[in-house]
Amino acid sequence: MDFKPPFQQICKAILLQNSTHEALSSHDDDKVSLVEECELPLIDLSHLNLGHFEGDKCMNEIAQAASQWGFFQVVNHGVSQEIIKSMQNEQRRLFHKPFAEKVEKNFLNSSSNCYRWGNPQATCLRQFSWSEAFHISVTEIPTMNDHHNSLRSTIEAFVKTVSGLAKRLAEILAQPLGVKPNYFEENCPPRTSYLRLNRYAPCTFPSQVFGLISHTDTDFLTIVHQDQVGGLEIFKDGRWLAVKPNPEALVVNIGDFFEALSNGAYKSIKHRVVSTQEVERLSVAYFYCPSYDAVVQNCGNEPSTYRQFTLREYKLQTQIDVQETGEKVGLSRFLL
């Protein structure tokens, strides 16, 4: 049984739907062309434990990167290479299961169907994502079906280390904002975060379709482990930059909610993944999210840019926008 989602067929159907021949887009920022490569700001987290001076310097580097880039990478992060390797092995095994099984409602666990592929609302190739993913909320991990035992224990080990890292980075970033110290303790209990396992299949026409379309993340911050294939791009200073993979590092990016909390001091920037022709690409993203009804509001300088909102409202608005326009609009829906 084939494990590949029917990407080819859906893209052909989208092309047929559009009477005029589909060009990716007239806008430069959408065209997949050769982009400049960059190295994200590299922060060595072991410096946090080297006493006040080095520790404060490291915390400032984190806040600076969040403000000027919205993206950075960290080494000595505490997630072992062994866990990362077993995570990748489990991902390969999972994604190489028959497609017919993956789409089954209770394939992974008894409750929700967390498998998604392509972008069902795409009305043109530019909105299609040539990738498949599993969204696994931390609460669902213990309920995973018994035949996913090794996947469950690997995910538990990964989440155990990366959730502590996410909370620590969030608290470091919140400090200069004057956010109350236990804000994340209260508003981001472990169960409200989730893991997104991504597989980017090789694509026969990589210049015509993205692995993951341009978006910002719906969370406070995201911690991503990407393999060495490359393809992640960030939109900075009006142009796309290819992020050079670093085998020792985890990528950290600011999400929409930290941009709102910091009143724009920290940037949630657009990023995307371009397709590859030859090899599959794997990544795993940990989304550090608030509980559904925690109020996200400006804790930075006045006047506020965005009105206060909850994750529940924000996700509802994203669903409406994805249904109506094929893509998420995001923070601009909540401008004051």
Q: Is 74 in the site for ligand AKG (CB under 6 A)?
A: no
Any bridge partners for residue 153, and if so which?
A: none
Please report how close the Cβ of residue 202 comes to ligand AKG at its closest, in angstroms.
15
Pick out residues in 93-132 that bind ligand L4NPZUNZ (CB under 6 A).
119
Q: Binding of Fe ion at residue 217 (CB under 5 A)?
A: yes
CB nearer to Fe ion: give 217 or 280: 217
251 DSSP β-pair partners:
73, 224
Q: Which helix H or strand E contains 123, and what residues bound it? A: none
| Residues making up the chain, counted from first to last | 336
Find which of Fe ion, ligand L4NPZUNZ, ligand AKG, none residue 218 binds, CB within 5 to 8 Å per kind: ligand L4NPZUNZ
Among 209, 224, 260, 265, binds ligand AKG (CB under 6 A): 224
Taking the complex as a whole, how short is the minimal distance between the CB of residue 14 and ligand AKG, in angstroms?
22
* Residue selected from 218, 253, 263, 283 as contacting ligand L4NPZUNZ according to rule CB under 6 A: 218
Closer by beta carbon to ligand L4NPZUNZ, 294 or else 322: 322
Long-range interactions of 115-118: CB distance < 8 A, separation 24+:
117/5, 117/7, 118/5, 118/7, 118/10
Question: In the set 282, 318, 331, 334, which binds ligand L4NPZUNZ (CB under 6 A)?
Answer: 318
Q: Which residue number places its CB atom closest to ligand AKG?
A: 283
Does residue 281 carry a catalytic annotation?
Answer: yes
| Composition of the chain by helix, strand, coil, percent to 5 | 40, 20, 40
Binding at 148: pick from Fe ion, ligand AKG, ligand L4NPZUNZ, none (beta carbon under 5-8 Å per type): none
Q: How many binding residues for ligand AKG (CB under 6 A)?
A: 11
**Chain centroid, CA 64 distance in Å:** 21
What is d(CA 315, CA 285) in angstroms, rounded to the nearest whole number? 18
Angle 66-233-258 from CA coordinates, rounded to 5°:
30
Spatial CA neighbour of 138 closest among 155, 126, 122:
155
Phi-psi region of 51 (alpha: psi -120 to 50; beta: other; left: phi over 0): left
Residue in 63, 66, 289, 322 binding ligand L4NPZUNZ, rule: CB under 6 A = 322
Q: How far is the CB of 134 from ligand L4NPZUNZ (least distance, A)?
A: 11
The answer to whether the beta carbons of residues 285 and 223 sit under 8 Å apart is: yes
CA diameter of the chain: 64
Q: Which of 154, 187, 198, 268 binds ligand AKG (CB under 6 A)?
A: 198
Closest C-alpha to 217, from 267, 156, 274: 267
Q: Which candidate in 191, 199, 281, 333 is catalytic?
A: 281
- C-beta closer to ligand AKG: residue 179 or 251: 251
Say how many C-beta atoms besides its own lie within 10 A of residue 327's C-beta: 18
Which position among 141, 250, 273, 311 is part of the footprint of ligand AKG (CB under 6 A)? 273
d(CA 250, CA 79): 9
Nearer to ligand AKG by Cβ, of 65 and 232: the residue is 232
Q: Which of 126, 152, 167, 196 binds ligand AKG (CB under 6 A)?
A: 196
- Of 19-27, 224-232, 293-301, 308-316, the segment contacting ligand AKG by CB under 6 A is 224-232
Of 91 and 198, CB closest to ligand AKG: 198
* Strand locations in 10-125 (E): 36-38, 42-44, 71-75, 115-117
Cα Rg of the chain, angstroms: 20
Catalytic residues: 281
Provide the binding-site residues for ligand L4NPZUNZ, judged by CB under 6 A: 119, 196, 213, 215, 217-218, 318, 322, 327-328
